[in-house]
Amino acid sequence: MESLAKYRYSLVAGSFAAAGSFFGKLPSHLSARKLLNTSQIKADSSYLELALLQLLPLVLMIICNVCNLRCFLKALQMTEQTLTCVVLTAASNYVLSFILGALVYREPLTVLSCIGITLILAGLWFLCDGGTVESKKPDKIE
């Protein structure tokens, strides 16, 4: 758990990236579910509905992407290796996007996608593991 605190900004950056993708897809998802009637734009309430269902997710997507970049830059400053930061950010983005897609957008869960997420989580675990294995030095031959 101590190693996760070291990489917290990478994980938060991946979370903001997943949220940005989520809010980017939200208006098209709402239009496909016919929650927004664009053919009846006559009353003032429909303009409010248009603003809430179309513009608000767009603004939230931009805010999440700005926060993603800010946290990613902070993570780059805190980590010793930039590769670790990049991999953690991308992996957490993929995992959270998979979870949000399955829960909210009802995207299909396939065996291959579940295997992929399992491999990503295993890779994250090995990457964040603090390297607790001690190396044994060979005895000196005199």
Whether residue 61 has pLDDT greater than 60: yes
Identify the pLDDT of residue 140. Answer: 58
- The more confidently predicted of residues 48 and 133 is 48
Whether residue 132 has pLDDT greater than 60: no
The 8-class DSSP code of residue 55 comes to I
Mean pLDDT, to the nearest integer, of 60-75? 96
Per residue in 69-101, pLDDT tens? 999 999 999 888 888 889 999 999 999 999 999
Identify the pLDDT of residue 131. Answer: 58
State the pLDDT confidence band at 43, using cuts at 50, 70 and 90. low
CA-to-CA dists, residue 29 to 23, 26, 57, 61, 99, angstroms: 10, 5, 11, 14, 16
Per residue in 8-38, pLDDT tens? 999 999 999 999 999 999 888 877 776 555 5
Q: Which of 21, 28, 34 is nearest to 96 (CA)?
A: 21
Burial degree of 54 (CB within 10 A; 0-12, 13-18, 19+): middle
- Tokens of residue 128, six digits: 């964040």
Residue 78: count of CB within 10 angstroms of its CB: 13
Whether residue 53 has pLDDT greater than 90: no
- Those residues with Cβ within 8 angstroms of residue 20's Cβ, 6 or more apart along the chain or in another chain: 61, 62, 64, 65, 68
- Those residues with Cβ within 8 angstroms of residue 57's Cβ, 6 or more apart along the chain or in another chain: 23, 24, 26, 27
Mean pLDDT, to the nearest integer, of 40-61? 74
Q: Percent of the chain scored above 70 by pLDDT?
A: 79
